[in-house]
A and B are shown apart, each in its own frame.
Chain A
């Protein structure tokens, strides 16, 4: 299928066509088959989940289409053979990264201003998880890309909210604080870019984000070691994954949520940097999965969910400017995918049916055994 072939179709037809196109490509590359049986596993106390979202959607053109294949070798060849792949994940909400990530985390399409420093209105997965399963604060963490995500860990909902959410680590914020006492801050500047969509916007911080002095205690990582390691990293997402691995080593949280963001450099209009971001995300996902397999606290009891928060504008919609933004709300920008890997997940399987990105939280609820009563999504039976 070519994008040009989508002209004139309605959004539902387009998302189906995108789904089938992904399926055909995956079948050709990996020999993936269909999901023929639904899963129905008992929730386990020892289970863990790692959720990786791409804040900054990557289009099929640059990933699952033939020309994009070279950009995602790890997703295709290392992870896909072990995964169930959902080809038709639709985001019906606001296509801004913070509000969309908050929508995924609450299972409700949130409607707040994407650039406001506010908590989600509905309870987050972290609150459902901790309250429902009586888990301690150290068991749920978020590693988020920019200051705007400071309040993603817990909602403003009166029945949940403060004290019941996840700890939020903003690695760039930490690095920035670490550098305030260092003399060579310029060497780290490449890691500190905050927000690509509105690059000049840096919201005031509010929320339960961890501060520098806490980092040393929680992660058992000295400020010097942190800054020293950061110097060798090439991007903010590498910094996020580095912190996530530290969290896994030191605290082994059962629910770890990481939002990657490098791809969103696309907003600058530089196609090559957007491609670099996709390649880096591809590599980092594989690194995370390897880290899970090597860590006895995680190996064989962890399910990893990988999904972009949404897509990007298609080349054919004249209202947009192709890969650069996600402003048109067209079907291509709303339709994305999800890859799920874990010991209880069927391997090398493709699921074509339409699901929504808000279905993730009820799915995690079924997986862990907690309720998400205010979520409007539905559990994805094939991976729950």
Chain B
């Protein structure tokens, strides 16, 4: 099937809002090249479970593409249209399974040495879409907080080696009740700026209580869904014959309720949490990876005003069978290794925050939990400085929140 053969009936299998949006834009969709359209549909088909910022972003793409006259439209799509695709790709059910098409397209582009051309075309497209409309004004600047090193009493690893150069490294942070101080700061921002999915708390262990208006996810709270997925993965792992494509398809098609995520709650959040476990690599078995990936995905997709990410000790490295059996036994933890993971995870969280609009005003705090060390980054703070002066954590967060 080719794009110009699309009809309203093609989207019969789509969720309600996604189907409506597709039909509304069907004339546009029919004009898009095959190397591009399924990638757009991959976003569209999950429209019903997208965060508000993602919906707005998709809307911006439709507006941009719809505004182009014939010539500029052709120019915008020419790089995609010129890619040489295999005939099997046309025969894929790319309308209803755009993610599978996307995987096969990627493999085809690598194998035919067209991946670099595709990358350039994709980057160019994203830049043009971004330039087509101004970013919405933020009600306040963004704030990211990463708490690392839970359970580490003594540390010889040089922390904040990447983040330090971006802000001030504080060596005398007074931190009594530190976690609560930070959570209160998050809750206060959520109360003043009540934006749906605008304020997040991610915990690598069990989450603490936090004020209303803060979306909360944790590794421990997902232990049930993780166990369900781990069981499925374990069975696949032990099977005599394994088909990686079928396995990825199985993961992609699993529904939240099948994984034990309560569909009676927040459907958008359930879908998001499931995606962390089915699309992330290592998120099912390592809590440090879970927090880092969750923070990345929250920032990329929900574009929050506030993000609080607390890393916890992950299980020690083990053979895959043992890692997947985490829910059946109490795993041995690797606190020191987790601190090193989290130090890098904090840096990546800051990097991902800086990729969002308003980055010039954003601020960030990374704190070594229950220790005196922290790095604060903000437009008002000098870069690459060290401060040995005592400072209360509450004062520090107040300066940048």
Contacts and interface: CB of A to CB of B under 8 A. Distances in A.
B314 A270 contact: yes
Interface stretch (A30-38, A132-140, A278-286, A319-327): A319-327
Interface string B233-266: 1001100011010010000000000000000000
Contacts of B233: 200
A113 B103 CA distance: 12
Contact of A201 (B111, B119, B244, B336): B244
B319 interface: yes
A269 B112 contact: no
B360 to A, nearest CB: 15
Interface string A305-321: 00000000001101101
Max chain A Cβ within 10 angstroms of own Cβ: one of B236, B317, B321, B339: B317
Contacts of A319: 119
A111 B114 CA distance: 12
Contacts of B244: 115, 198, 200-201
A190 interface: yes
Contacts of A198: 244
A228 interface: no
Contacts of B241: 204
Nearest to A316: B351
B115 A193 contact: no
B337 interface: yes
A265 B334 CA distance: 16
B320 interface: yes
Interface stretch (B91-99, B172-180, B279-287): B279-287
B113 interface: yes
B368 to A, nearest CB: 15
B311 to A, nearest CB: 11
Interface stretch (B68-76, B288-296, B375-383): B288-296
A321 B334 CA distance: 23
A380 interface: no
Given A269-B288, A270-B341, A324 B281 contact: yes
A273 interface: yes
Contacts of B388: none
Interface residues of B, number: 50
A315 B348 contact: yes
A202 B242 contact: yes
Contacts of A11: 116
A115 B286 CA distance: 24
A268 interface: yes
B289 A268 contact: yes
A328 interface: yes
A330 B116 CA distance: 8
B21 to A, nearest CB: 25
Contacts, number: 106
Given A324-B281, A329-B116, A270 B317 contact: yes
Contact of B110 (A94, A199, A202): A94
Contacts of B237: 199-200, 202
Interface of B is mostly: helix
Contacts of A325: 281
A192 interface: yes
Interface string A90-116: 001011100000000000010111010
Contacts of A67: 161-162
B281 A271 contact: no
A269 to B, nearest CB: 3
A267 interface: yes
B380 to A, nearest CB: 21
B337 A189 contact: no
A324 B351 CA distance: 15
A30 to B, nearest CB: 23
Interface in A340-356: none
B124 interface: no
B345 interface: yes
A176 to B, nearest CB: 11
B107 interface: yes
Nearest to B115: A329
Contact of A273 (B236, B317, B322): B317
Given A200-B242, A201-B244, A321-B348, A269 B283 contact: yes
A272 interface: yes
B335 to A, nearest CB: 11
Contacts of B293: 269, 321
Nearest to A318: B355
A76 interface: no
Nearest to B281: A267
Max chain B Cβ within 10 angstroms of own Cβ: one of A95, A113, A321: A321
A200 B321 CA distance: 10
A97 to B, nearest CB: 13
B318 A201 contact: no
Nearest to B289: A269
A211 to B, nearest CB: 19
B318 A189 contact: yes
A150 interface: no
A113 B340 CA distance: 34
Contacts of B270: none
A278 to B, nearest CB: 13
B344 interface: yes
Interface of A: 11, 67, 92, 94-96, 109, 111-113, 115, 189-190, 192-193, 198-204, 265, 267-273, 275, 315-316, 318-319, 321-325, 328-330
Given A201-B244, A316-B351, 17 more contacts: A94-B110, A109-B113, A111-B111, A112-B111, A113-B107, A189-B318, A200-B244, A204-B241, A267-B281, A268-B286, A269-B286, A270-B317, A270-B337, A271-B345, A272-B339, A275-B340, A330-B119
26 contacts: A94-B111, A113-B107, A198-B244, A201-B244, A202-B237, A267-B281, A267-B282, A268-B289, A269-B281, A269-B282, A269-B292, A269-B293, A271-B345, A272-B337, A272-B338, A273-B317, A315-B351, A316-B351, A318-B352, A318-B355, A321-B293, A324-B281, A324-B282, A328-B119, A329-B110, A329-B116
* A-B complex: 9 closest residue pairs judged by Cβ atoms: A269-B289, A268-B282, A189-B319, A272-B340, A272-B337, A269-B282, A271-B344, A111-B111, A94-B110
